Amino acid sequence: MDEDLIETKLGSEIIYDGKLLHVKCDTVKLPDGKETTREWVKHPGAAAILPILPDGQIILVRQYRYPVAQVTLEIPAGKLDVAGESPLECAKRELREETGYQAARYEKLLALATTVGFSDEVIHIYAAWDLTPGEQATDDDEFIHVVRMPLTEAYQAVQDGRIYDAKTVTAILFLMARGGK
């Protein structure tokens, strides 16, 4: 059906090979037969989790994000960087490390391709209920404040731009579309 849109990889060159990001430049054949290049970022993927308290509040984390030079409000998340770890296990780990909470019930909400124009990153987003508080165990280079917020307030923060992180916006809108459940 969409065969007239497919690009075919002819070759690939590694431009940068870092700890997190791997930048490639691929030579591709376009549907019309011409050749061009595509620069893109190979990413290990990630998992994120939207913790929901019995009173309808959600748990977010506030942290400084260097690339945008701002403190952001986000759902807990992290890279799929532990060998053999599933996206759900990663989400559980990040919930525990970043907030101290653990949950008894989880549900996968969706998988989100974050920036299809230049990266293959996919974030698996979960919701968590029946939470038990515990001790935060952040990485040595993480400085995070845990924030409890009513879902309706978080939704308003999305509307007015206070929350603009893509995974967080998506999770909040998804949950609101389901009536907050």
68 CB neighbour count, 10 Å cutoff? 10
Categorise residue 28: left if φ over 0, alpha if ψ from -120 to 50, beta otherwise: beta
Q: In terms of domains, do 56 and 130 share one?
A: yes
CA angle 6, 38, 11 (to 5 degrees): 80
Q: In terms of domains, do 66 and 32 share one?
A: no
Q: In terms of domains, do 56 and 21 share one?
A: no
In contact, 86 and 115? CB cutoff 8 Å: no
The reported pLDDT for the residue numbered 66 is 94
For the record, the structure tokens of 47 come out as 């998992």
The reported pLDDT for the residue numbered 123 is 98
Q: In terms of domains, do 8 and 72 share one?
A: no
The reported pLDDT for the residue numbered 48 is 98
Domain housing 150: 46-177
Q: In terms of domains, do 63 and 21 share one?
A: no
The reported pLDDT for the residue numbered 45 is 94
Q: In terms of domains, do 72 and 158 share one?
A: yes
The reported pLDDT for the residue numbered 50 is 98
Q: In terms of domains, do 60 and 101 share one?
A: yes
pTM for the whole thing? Answer: 0.92
Q: In terms of domains, do 34 and 100 share one?
A: no
| Cα gap 107→178, rounded to integer Å | 13
State which residues of the chain have pLDDT below 70.
none
The reported pLDDT for the residue numbered 79 is 93
Q: In terms of domains, do 143 and 66 share one?
A: yes
Q: In terms of domains, do 91 and 33 share one?
A: no
First to last CA, the chain: 37
Instruction: Specify the CATH number for the domain of residue 127.
Output: 3.90.79.10
For the record, the structure tokens of 142 come out as 């993480």
For the record, the structure tokens of 117 come out as 């124009």
In contact, 98 and 61? CB cutoff 8 Å: yes
Q: In terms of domains, do 125 and 155 share one?
A: yes
Helix axes 151-159, 166-177, angle to 10 degrees: 120
Nearest to residue 147, comparing CAs of 123, 168, 161? 168
Q: In terms of domains, do 75 and 90 share one?
A: yes
- Give the chain's domain count: 2
In contact, 41 and 119? CB cutoff 8 Å: yes
